[in-house]
Amino acid sequence: MKQEQFVARHQQEWHDLEQWLQHRAGASRRRRRKPGAEEAGDVSFPQRYRRLCQQLALARERGYSPQLVQRLQQLMQDGHGVLYRTPPTRWRRALEFLVADFPLLVRSQARSMWAALAMFAVPALACFVLVQVYPDSIHLLMDNSQIAEMERMYDPSAERLGRDSGTDWMMFGYYIMNNIGIALRTFASGLLAGLGTLLVLLFNGITIGAVAGHLQHIGHGGPFWRFVVGHGAFELTAIVIAGGAGLQLGMKLLAPGRRRRLDALVEGGRIGARLCLGAAFMLLLAAFVEAFWSSIAEIPAAVKFSVAGVLWAGVLLWLWRGGRGGSHAD
């Protein structure tokens, strides 16, 4: 076979391999890949690498030009470094996921995230204003026993905020189970064409808005805000992220595009699982802050709000800038 025919037959394959290796080699280039695209390349890479080695051997055997042989040799060396590199340790991979991959994934699903935020925040704000203007409307949103419990938990004279009893460690475990359970329901209900996720977000937004509005109206707003403002940076953001994960899952089901619906749903499930993994970490932090910091009534409001400002700024900066620049292993 002449060199021109050989090149024409394999040129596209070499070009694709070069592009994939460049994505792997440069962190700035890796950032621009679509989530899931490189993982698919990882699976097929060993077979592509073996074909490249065979093609290099043929080019040498047939006496093709030094430029072609050098190009294939360089490709083989680059591929060898990827195929036989030492995999990162588990803790390092977990840290890299949390620091860079997770915020990148959140931003890649920006539309779903903004939609989830709207479905959560708008009802919360609307109910807060409604209860301020029409105080009796709280009875349409909550029953009397729930209202009494909220008033007791956030009474300005209470020794602990947000709870009646229980040790810090006991409440830490309770908060973990409760918060992660809400996040998983929010995501999994996306299988109902996204409608379930919308309802969960709407319900939680209405409940939080109604509680906040009622407590603010009766003069218990100070204890309530001192309790929620700190751990809310992790908890509320994580719930919105879980909601975004559920909405993108629902969209994959409703609008699979040119792919089979099952394939699109599997892809949505993989993306959602990774989003929920990061959200679970955020909820773990939220539970710790809620149990050991938020409930302390003796801490002055100025300190509580200052710490909360740092936490909110940190979470938003992490989700906005995490994964931009720098490098991490794939």
In tens digits, what is the pLDDT along the chain, a chain of 330 residues? Answer: 788 888 888 888 888 888 888 777 654 344 444 444 444 446 677 888 888 888 888 888 888 888 888 888 888 888 877 777 656 667 777 888 888 889 999 999 999 999 999 999 999 999 999 999 999 999 998 899 989 988 888 888 877 887 766 788 888 888 888 888 888 888 888 888 889 899 999 999 999 999 999 999 999 988 999 999 999 999 999 999 999 999 998 888 888 887 788 888 888 888 988 999 999 999 999 999 998 998 888 889 999 999 999 999 999 999 998 887 644 433
* 88 Cβ contact list (under 8 Å, min separation 6): 96, 329
| Per-residue pLDDT tens over the stretch 147-156 | 998 888 888 8
Q: Are 213 and 246 in contact (CB under 8 A)?
A: no
How many other C-beta atoms can be found within 10 angstroms of the C-beta atom of residue 291? 23
Q: Are 295 and 227 in contact (CB under 8 A)?
A: yes
pTM: predicted TM-score of the whole model, two decimal places: 0.70
Q: Angle at CA 176, nearest 5°, toward 172 and 179?
A: 130
Predicted pLDDT of residue 289: 93
How many other C-beta atoms can be found within 10 angstroms of the C-beta atom of residue 300? 9
- Give the tokens for residue 246: 């559920």
Question: Running DSSP on this structure, what letter comes out for residue 89?
Answer: P
d(CA 57, CA 324): 40
What is the torsion angle, in degrees rounded to the nearest 10, for the CA atoms of residue 267, residue 270, residue 273 and residue 278? -110
Q: Are 233 and 311 in contact (CB under 8 A)?
A: yes
Question: Running DSSP on this structure, what letter comes out for residue 293?
Answer: I
| Per-residue pLDDT tens over the stretch 84-137 | 765 666 777 788 888 888 999 999 999 999 999 999 999 999 999 999 999 999
Q: Which residues of 196-233 are buried (b: 16+ CB within 10 A; e: fewer)?
A: bbbebbbebbbbbbbbbbbbbbeebbebbbbbbbbbbb
